Structure 1
């Protein structure tokens, strides 16, 4: 629509210029014709006059038009081969016409330039207005997203507070009951010792839960900075297995380590150890006694792959996408029987993804879970493969 309007205005402008030029030319033609007639009238008047004096000359130019005198002047023009079209008057008229055409052309050109500049400025203004409109719409959409995110975060905060309250309520109630019984004279010393131990266990559970929540809140609030450094994949797996070997032995669970080749990885030593430990600790916690957990390290082109494979019951397909949620604990009875805060896998996923890796879960055959996570390798020339 804008291009059509611009073309129409251009055509109209050119038509106006052509009409003005045509009007000038027609007026010139009329003036030249009238001048020619006046000259012929004067010559005819001079020829028919009895005497030629000043009064006769003035009368010849000022007298009314007479067809006979005009015809006489035209006859004399033909007779003596004289042309009034070559007189100075006609040349002056031609020069006047040329100047008028030149002035008109320059004026039209200037007007055309002014119109073109105005049109260009109008297009620039329209483009800027369109850009501002798009930016406004983009800001509007962004603000809508931010508002929606804020509402979601507010709802998430409420949910987190509810989850924390729910998570803390049970052990606190159990601790309160245990301490009341342990301090009561209505029970035997042996019974009070048992409840005292139960209360101590609840305190350990609360301490574990609060420690997990503190780490989680610090990581989410970016109070903890991930500082990747280059260190050995074998060192990482060794640190993780060493920290949890006693828990595995207490359940008569064997941990097998399979590292095909060693290589330097780029990760935060402390927090990556925390992430892998959370996965291995879950495997120990939910694996039956007298089973084997395999921790395998494989070098891929750009990443190190760590797999933690157990022989437990595994995780149902319905829960595969839920296990990484904050405070989520499975519905299986074996899961609910074990103590836990429900933030281990969430924390592990967040740590691994913060460093450019991924974490996923696959089924083992014939049963069990296989948690796989990737960690970037150090690929420069100074960090080559480590020889065993």
Structure 2
């Protein structure tokens, strides 16, 4: 019986039985000492009383067990997403006071969830509005800056400042775009449309994206993996995530260094590894690199905006994947991304 799965209840019933037996033995012994014979009526009376007490206790605990099971069912329903699930607490007693507190907690959680949802929606709309408002002046500034560069061919100082201005405008545009993407992911307003994609094709697209930069900086991007491995994912978003990690690797490598992108398939996992032999990450920073706008006090990078890796992590987790990082100063950094294969679960 389910109620006897509770060790305390089992000991309670055992204690009652032991006490009744002891009282019965003492009573029969007393009768025997006084009258030199045992009393059958006394034995029957004790057995009847013991049985009655045990039955009443069993009924009570079984009823309490039923009430608790009903409460657990309602709590499980709430945790499963039924925000209207509540425990019946119309009766009086300590147990029903507890149920009332649980119902109050559920109502408070619902209120917090509703507030959080409204705040996320407000944040998404606000950042979206700001981003769209910034696009027009940014486009205009880029045009003006381009015209300034064209007119400053014979003025090296002005041309230098115009080039620096272009770099800063590019940074602002990247910040705006990444803020918009990561906010939409947070708010759940982006639908990840998954399809079976060839991993090799996606990695080749990424290599092509960075080919010019790698050539200019005299760095090498090396691809390694089977052409037959596929992944259930949103191609555009997955390329966005890997792009950000590869860009981070290129940002922290030097002339002659290389970035290796490798993909493998195991029994139930597709694994993508991005490894570089660059400057590495300080141990103090390893637990913080996925935090938004995090700036290391050891980093010499003055161009980064601290959103690339958090965005990559958000996209990977939206695909039910995991990302881990291992790094050694002066040796390099390795990012390992794992995706479970649904058909192998």
Query: Which TM-score band (shorter chain)?
Result: 0.5 to 0.7
**Contact 1:364 1:370 (C-alpha < 8 Å) held by counterparts:** no
Deviation at 1:263, TM superposition (A): 1.6
1:208 aligns with 2:171: no
Out of 285, 296, 304, the residue aligned to residue 262 of structure 2 is: 296
**Contact 1:326 1:346 (C-alpha < 8 Å) held by counterparts:** yes
- Inter-partner Cα distance in structure 2 for 1:305 and 1:358: 10
- Inter-partner Cα distance in structure 2 for 1:332 and 1:366: 13
1:264 aligns with 2:257: no
1:305 aligns with 2:271: yes
Aligned to 2:221: 255
Write the mapping of 1:81-100 to structure 2, written as runs, cut at 5 A: none
Q: Return closer, same or farther for 1:326/1:365 CA change in 2, 3 Å cut-off.
A: closer
Q: RMSD value over aligned CA atoms?
A: 4.0
SS in 1 for 2:156: helix
Deviations 1:286-337 (A, max 9, x none): 111111111111111112111111111111221111000111132224223x
Deviation at 1:261, TM superposition (A): 5.8
Out of 277, 280, 283, the residue aligned to residue 314 of structure 1 is: 280
Out of 303, 325, 328, the residue aligned to residue 361 of structure 1 is: 325
Deviation at 1:370, TM superposition (A): 0.3
Aligned to 2:312: 348
- Inter-partner Cα distance in structure 2 for 1:135 and 1:329: 47
SS in 2 for 1:255: strand
Deviations 1:329-353 (A, max 9, x none): 32224223xx222111101111111
SS in 2 for 1:318: coil
**Contact 2:237 2:315 (C-alpha < 8 Å) held by counterparts:** yes
Larger Rg: 1
Out of 181, 195, 198, the residue aligned to residue 232 of structure 1 is: 198
**Contact 1:322 1:328 (C-alpha < 8 Å) held by counterparts:** yes
Out of 138, 145, 162, the residue aligned to residue 102 of structure 2 is: 138
Out of 189, 212, 231, the residue aligned to residue 246 of structure 1 is: 212
Q: Return closer, same or farther for 1:135/1:277 CA change in 2, 3 Å cut-off.
A: farther
- Inter-partner Cα distance in structure 2 for 1:250 and 1:275: 23
Aligned to 2:249: 283
SS in 2 for 1:289: coil
